[in-house]
Structure 1
Amino acid sequence: MGASVAVSVLLASGQAMAAAPVPDADSQAARTAAVVEAATGTSDIAPAPAPGTTVPQQSTANVKAGTATGHAVSITLPSARNVTGATAGKNTTVYPGAAQATDLAVQPTTDGGIRALAVLKDATAPREQRYDIGLPDGAHLVELDNGAVAAIAENGTFLGGFDTPWAKDANGRPVPTSYRLEGNTLVQTVQIDNSTVFPVVADPKWWDKTKEIASGMVGDTWNSMKCGGALGAAFIPGSSAYKVIKNAGGVKKVLATLASVDTKKGALSALGSGGSTLFGIKSIKTACFDNLK
């Protein structure tokens, strides 16, 4: 993406029309990129998006990302204006002023994922950011116990997911934040108070294990999210897994139990009589047991 930025001016008629480059547009993008990269760090920013992942030129276009099954998902940024992006910093694409008192940004990451970021510039910025998620036919989103959100295919296969949300203020202090789902719309809420120092950066991050880092940490996190997604999708009143997971203490407790063992035999033993029930559910077996010896 070029260094110069073409901006669109919204006329009173509601029609968008290309205008001459704004002289300070690049510096504004650079300032926002610096704020974003101070919050995210730069060690995991990829020099280019992974295959199947795209960063849009316009803020109203969709971010595209891959899934573990080779399908695609789309993420619609919470943009109120059609703004042309500018790439600055280590590789952060910024959409200045894309919403009220809010800049948006996108970063590809070295683990094959992608971050969509909202930069709340002052107290007039919206407290909620809404991301419409386009999924393969029949797929749906599931909230997990740790605040993350998993995408589950119609057949129960784990596609990928959004990491536990975070937000930071200008001093690097955590700002309380959480997700909720409205169908396939991911809504991130940021709780601002009188002690919050603006700007605030908030981050939904999608990843699908397209690429792993050598340390294996991505693989461990991936396995946990994948298993949590399968358990969460099965944790429906009336299902065969519901009573087992509930009696075991919930999805988070079952995940902790499985993380404490390294063999299928050990997992079945640790889960007691309910282990065979979970093992017999194909999506849970694949996501939670097949990586064990």
Structure 2
Amino acid sequence: MKKLFLKSIIATLVLSVFIGNGISVSAAAIKSNDEKIINNIENVTNTKDIVKGNANNIVYLDEGIMNIPTSGKQPITIKDDSNKTTDLTVSLPTKNTGNISKISNNGTILYKNTINNSSNIALQPINDGFKALININSNLADKEYAFTFNLPKDSKLVSSASYLGKQYDTKEIFIVDKNNIVTSIISPAWAKDANGQEVPTYYKIVSNNKLVQVVNFKKDTPFPIVADPNWTKIGKCAGSIAWAIGSGCFAGAKLLKIKKYIAELGGLKTAAQLIVGATTWEERLHAGGYALVNLAAELTGVAGIQANCF
């Protein structure tokens, strides 16, 4: 059952700073800039699914408990809801990232840049994970942002191209366990400029546990840019499909069809959500066309999938 939350994380606000020429920048100016950054982020993202933390910086997810770092140099910690053991931790890009600067009324958490204002990191907890927002303010900012995952033993990051095959690449990143079963998903990389236009971006896996988002902006790109690595713990339906794929339950032509339909629907996470949300042939056709209809037909009758998806 989803828990109720109270608004909460205590933000450390800087009252005033001094720049090189000795001119004082007021707290109001800092606040105004923070609000501008958050407004830009929230204009691009959906704020309705944000879950707010309590007074102890804890967010209760649908399945798990998240500890929100009060400093960007501390990791996000996800714990299992049943036995409270740590499932994984994720370190934000730490370069220039300091303490919480502001929390919006919607629940967006902004971390201050301790060196300059070329980019900022923000966090939006959601029911099944979190969105880590990169707000790029100028062409002086870095183009690469690294997220380090402290994973359970023998788990690792793999691209969907490696897991499903290049021809079925959904641009997602999967975290797989020692049995090659997907346990969580990072949604495809995206970035948008100040005009709402897409900016070229992609993920690269540097090691088994480090994911880098590359944002290829240009000097004349309209700033600010918002980019978003979105981590979610895999749901029951997506999990059962991933288990069937990774365990060898499907093979041959059937497996290739399933991969093809998942790719056409935009990824494993989206495909599972569409299956759960559409219960009739007509609803599936309307929600995802024949790709969803055909995927549902291929999956129907598999015990675990039947119980979690239909």
TM-score (norm 2): 0.66
Aligned equivalent of 2:77, options 42, 49, 64: 64
After TM superposition, give the deviation of residue 5 of structure 1 in Å: 2.0
SS in 2 for 1:260: helix
Aligned equivalent of 2:177, options 131, 136, 153: 153
SS in 2 for 1:107: strand
Distance 1:187 1:146, change over 3 A: same
SS in 1 for 2:217: coil
Map 1:221-236 to 2 at 5 A: 223-224=237-238, 227=241, 231=245
Q: Relative to structure 2, which stretch is displaced further, 180-189 or 40-49?
A: 40-49
Distance 1:121 1:112, change over 3 A: same
CA deviation vs aligned residue, 1:55-83 (integer Å, no higher than 9, x gap): 21011100123569975221111121351
Alpha-carbon contact 2:174-2:184 (below 8 Å) kept: yes
RMSD over aligned CA atoms reads 3.7
Is it true that 1:39 corresponds to 2:64 in the alignment?
A: no
Whole-angstrom distance in 2 between the partners of 1:82 and 1:191? 21
Whole-angstrom distance in 1 between the partners of 2:215 and 2:228? 10
Is it true that 1:142 corresponds to 2:155 in the alignment?
A: no
CA deviation vs aligned residue, 1:168-211 (integer Å, no higher than 9, x gap): 111222222211212211111112135521111110111115xx
Aligned equivalent of 2:35, options 27, 30, 36: 30
- Which amino acid is the alignment partner of residue 73 of structure 2? T
After TM superposition, give the deviation of residue 247 of structure 1 in Å: 8.1
Aligned equivalent of 2:113, options 80, 83, 97: 97
* Structure 1 stretches lacking a partner, 5+ long: 10-20, 210-218, 235-239, 270-274, 280-284
Give the aligned partner of residue 106 of structure 1. Answer: 123
Is it true that 1:50 corresponds to 2:60 in the alignment?
A: yes
Aligned equivalent of 2:259, options 251, 266, 285: 251
CA deviation vs aligned residue, 1:114-144 (integer Å, no higher than 9, x gap): 1111111111111111111111111111211
Whole-angstrom distance in 1 between the partners of 2:252 and 2:115? 45
* Structure 2 stretches lacking a partner, 5+ long: 1-8, 18-24, 54-58, 161-168, 265-289
Alpha-carbon contact 1:29-1:88 (below 8 Å) kept: no
- Which amino acid is the alignment partner of residue 32 of structure 1? I
Whole-angstrom distance in 2 between the partners of 1:229 and 1:203? 27
Is it true that 1:260 corresponds to 2:275 in the alignment?
A: no
Distance 1:61 1:22, change over 3 A: farther
SS in 2 for 1:61: coil
Is it true that 1:88 corresponds to 2:103 in the alignment?
A: yes
Identity of aligned residues (%): 23
SS in 2 for 1:60: coil
TM-score (norm 1): 0.69
Distance 1:141 1:171, change over 3 A: same
Alpha-carbon contact 1:50-1:113 (below 8 Å) kept: no
After TM superposition, give the deviation of residue 162 of structure 1 in Å: 0.8
Whole-angstrom distance in 2 between the partners of 1:245 and 1:153? 25
Whole-angstrom distance in 2 between the partners of 1:62 and 1:73? 10
Alpha-carbon contact 2:139-2:219 (below 8 Å) kept: no
Map 1:139-288 to 2 at 5 A: 139-144=155-160, 145-182=169-206, 183-193=208-218, 196-208=221-233, 223-224=237-238, 227=241, 231=245, 244=252, 248=256, 251-253=259-261, 259-261=292-294, 266-267=297-298
SS in 1 for 2:42: helix
Which one scores higher on RCO, CA 8 angstroms, separation ≥ 6?
1
